[in-house]
Amino acid sequence: MLAATAVTLPIYAALTVGLPGFALGATVLFVLAAAGGVVMNLGYHWNRRALPKPLVVIHALVAVVGFVLLVTATWSVRG
């Protein structure tokens, strides 16, 4: 729930005021990571099946790259 809630803020910002390129890319990656989390939760966890390691690693890497892009976009904003 926290991840889904956190993804809505950059989506809202993108739709209302616009975002720099890196921040928009980070938003896309966060949405993809959230979708992977939903797949892991509903497809594996609820069915009490073991999570495939490649899916977990890809999910984590996509989220980390999204975070790095968001931090880069934040630091590159000139005030």
pLDDT at 1: 76
Q: Which letter, b or e, does each residue of 41-64 get, where b requires 16 or more Cβ atoms within 10 Å of its Cβ? A: eeeeeeeeeeeeeeeeeebeebbe
Calculate mean pLDDT across residues 52-69. Answer: 96
66, 29 Cβ separation under 8 angstroms: yes
pLDDT beyond 80 at 78: no
Calculate mean pLDDT across residues 16-42. Answer: 93
Provide the whole-model pTM: 0.85
> One-letter amino acid identity for 71?
V
Contacts 24+ apart (CB under 8 A), 11-19: 19/73
